[in-house]
């Protein structure tokens, strides 16, 4: 299959490399010369513009920083793409923007899904990302074999925008849990309970969650956690802050009640001002 890949950054670069390993021809574009060079070293054919990348492509994948950029790239490449091609946007963007680009793509005769991911750069490199896919049945069916070489799990979530809805709901839960776990370690220490004892009890009890078991915010219990490595991400606070911004926009546009999510968004927003580069589990530092 000929696949166009626009946005060859920290995530897109290794994702494109996995498509090459699966035997696809990948034609890539990125504004950054370094990103293009790294992708080319994995076998991606580099071209000078996004418009050139999509010519004759069976699938077009975008992995870009935000919704405004995805919208502008769609507007410029849709006229050049082959009708019937499947467009897959794996960027994390708002549900509203995802539905808007879907409408544009459909109007140009393309299939289209939103397919945001979780799993980070590690998952992108290993080809084990979890894809949350929103779109009509024909688009999801066309996108699935394209996603497979990059995926550990592909979850169809319903109509267009629903992949993004799933992503922002998951990350709102995660944000709240990471703060709650931090609060428990701070309280336990003041009560004279060791970090290891708290970890051993809660991971085998009803309070267990990924934010504790895998992303333990204190060094000791989990050797692979970012807390063991001065909170080098992992999942950077800046990205969590971005995702919570999208979640809060959705809470507000739907009139939904999310008092804990809203408070978590405020806490991360303040923390991100100076610590955006740290793993989001470093939020425990603000509680100590
Ligand atoms: P990144 O900044 O490393 O990569 C984005 C790339 O897009 C950059 O190389 C940039 O040069 C390129 N770009 C920007 N505008 C462009 C344009 N108009 N045309 C072509 N290329 C352009 O970011 P990333 O970490 O790879 O994240 C990409 C997306 O994936 C974001 O939406 C992010 O929220 C989401 N995401 C990231 C992670 C993660 O752990 N990094 C995890 C899940 C989801």
In this prediction, residue 286 has a pLDDT band, given cuts at 50, 70 and 90, of very high
Residues 111 and 174 in one domain: no
Residues 120 and 181 in one domain: no
Transcribe 43-58 into DSSP letters: TPEE-S-HHHHHTT-S
Mind listing the pLDDT tens digit for each residue in 14-39? 999 999 999 999 999 999 999 999 99
Mind listing the pLDDT tens digit for each residue in 96-121? 999 999 999 999 999 999 999 999 99
The phi and psi torsions of 79 (rounded to 5 degrees) equal -65, -20
In terms of Cβ atoms closer than 10 Å to its own Cβ (0-12, 13-18, 19+), residue 262 is middle
Which residue among 4, 5, 64 is best mutated to probe the pocket of ligand 1, counting the most ligand atoms within 8 A of its Cβ? 64
Question: Is omega for the bond preceding 234 within 30 degrees of 0, making it cis?
Answer: yes
Residues 194 and 220 in one domain: yes
Mind listing the pLDDT tens digit for each residue in 41-85? 999 999 999 999 999 999 999 999 999 999 999 999 999 999 999
Residues 147 and 11 in one domain: yes
In this prediction, residue 254 has a pLDDT band, given cuts at 50, 70 and 90, of very high
Residues 156 and 168 in one domain: no
In terms of Cβ atoms closer than 10 Å to its own Cβ (0-12, 13-18, 19+), residue 40 is middle
What is the Å distance from ligand 1's center to 1 Cα? 23
With H, G, I as helix, E, B as strand and everything else as coil, classify residue 8: coil
Which pLDDT belongs to residue 228?
98
Output the domain CATH number for residue 247: 1.10.1040.10
In this prediction, residue 273 has a pLDDT band, given cuts at 50, 70 and 90, of very high
Which pLDDT belongs to residue 83?
96
Residue span of the structural domain in which 120 resides = 2-160
Domain ends where: 138, 160, 182? Answer: 160
Contact partners, residue 282, CB within 8 Å, separation at least 6 = 217, 226, 227, 231, 237, 271, 275
In this prediction, residue 133 has a pLDDT band, given cuts at 50, 70 and 90, of very high
| pTM to 2 decimal places | 0.96
Which pLDDT belongs to residue 90?
98
Which pLDDT belongs to residue 102?
98
Which residue among 13, 15, 30, 37 is best mutated to probe the pocket of ligand 1, counting the most ligand atoms within 8 A of its Cβ? 30
Q: Whose CA is closest to atom 8 on ligand 1?
A: 9
Contact partners, residue 227, CB within 8 Å, separation at least 6 = 216, 217, 218, 219, 279, 281, 282, 284
Output the domain CATH number for residue 84: 3.40.50.720
Residues 197 and 111 in one domain: no
Task: Pull the structure tokens for residue 54.
Answer: 């999509």
Average pLDDT over residues 171-182: 98
Contact partners, residue 118, CB within 8 Å, separation at least 6 = 129, 130, 132, 167, 170, 171
Q: Determine the Cα–Cα distance for residues 173 and 186; give it in Å rounded to an integer.
A: 20
Residues 208 and 236 in one domain: yes
The label of the residue with tokens 């946005």 reads 7
What is the Å distance from ligand 1's center to 152 Cα? 20
In this prediction, residue 143 has a pLDDT band, given cuts at 50, 70 and 90, of very high
Q: Determine the Cα–Cα distance for residues 164 and 4; give it in Å rounded to an integer.
A: 22
With H, G, I as helix, E, B as strand and everything else as coil, classify residue 9: coil
Cβ < 6 A, ligand 1 pocket: 6-12, 29-32, 35, 50, 63-65, 69, 73, 91-92, 117, 120-121, 235, 239, 242
Average pLDDT over residues 204-233: 97
Strand 25-29 with 2-6, pairing? parallel
Q: 3-class secondary structure for 212-254?
A: HHCCCCCCCCCCCCHHHHCCCCCCEHHHHHHHHHHHHHHHHHH
Question: For all residues of the chain together, what is the average pLDDT?
Answer: 98
Residues 144 and 225 in one domain: no
Q: Whose CA is closest to atom 16 on ligand 1?
A: 31
Domain ends where: 115, 145, 160? Answer: 160
Which pLDDT belongs to residue 217?
98
Residues of the chain with pLDDT > 90, as a percent, come to 99
Average pLDDT over residues 191-204: 98
- Residue 93 CA: nearest ligand 1 atom is 32
Q: Whose CA is closest to atom 41 on ligand 1?
A: 120
Residues 60 and 175 in one domain: no
Residues of the chain with pLDDT > 70, as a percent, come to 100
Query: Running DSSP on this structure, what letter comes out for residue 30?
Result: -
Q: Determine the Cα–Cα distance for residues 188 and 199; give it in Å rounded to an integer.
A: 10
Residues 144 and 173 in one domain: no
Residues 171 and 144 in one domain: no
Domain ends where: 160, 189, 216? Answer: 160
What is the Å distance from ligand 1's center to 92 Cα? 9
Total domains in the chain come to: 2
């Amino acid at each position: 299959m000929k696949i166009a890949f626009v946005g060859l950054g920290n995530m897109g670069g290794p994702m494109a490399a996995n498509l090459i390993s699966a035997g696809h021809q990948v034609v890539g574009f990125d504004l950054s010369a370094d990103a293009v060079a790294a992708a080319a070293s994995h076998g991606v054919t580099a071209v000078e513009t996004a418009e050139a990348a999509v010519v004759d492509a069976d699938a077009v994948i975008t992995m870009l920083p935000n919704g405004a950029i995805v919208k502008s790239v769609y507007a410029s490449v849709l006229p050049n793409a082959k009708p019937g091609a499947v467009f897959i946007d794996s960027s994390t963007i708002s549900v509203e923007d995802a539905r808007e680009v879907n409408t544009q793509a459909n109007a140009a005769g393309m299939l289209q899904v939103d397919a945001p991911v979780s799993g980070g750069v590690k998952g992108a490199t290993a080809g084990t990302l979890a894809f949350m896919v929103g779109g009509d049945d024909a688009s999801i069916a066309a996108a699935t074999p394209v996603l497979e070489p990059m995926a550990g799990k592909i979850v169809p979530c319903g109509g267009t925008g629903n992949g993004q809805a799933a992503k922002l709901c998951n990350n709102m839960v995660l944000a709240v849990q990471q703060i709650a776990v931090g609060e428990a370690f701070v309280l336990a220490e003041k009560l004279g309970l060791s970090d290891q004892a708290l970890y051993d009890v809660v991971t085998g009890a009803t309070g267990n969650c990924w934010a504790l078991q895998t992303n333990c915010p204190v060094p000791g219990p989990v050797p692979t956690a970012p807390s063991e490595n001065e909170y080098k991400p992992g999942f950077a606070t800046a990205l969590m802050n971005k995702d919570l911004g999208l979640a809060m926009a959705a809470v507000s546009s739907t009139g939904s009640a999310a008092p804990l999510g809203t408070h978590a968004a405020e806490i991360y927003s303040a923390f991100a001002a100076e610590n955006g580069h740290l793993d989001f589990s470093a939020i425990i530092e603000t509680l100590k």
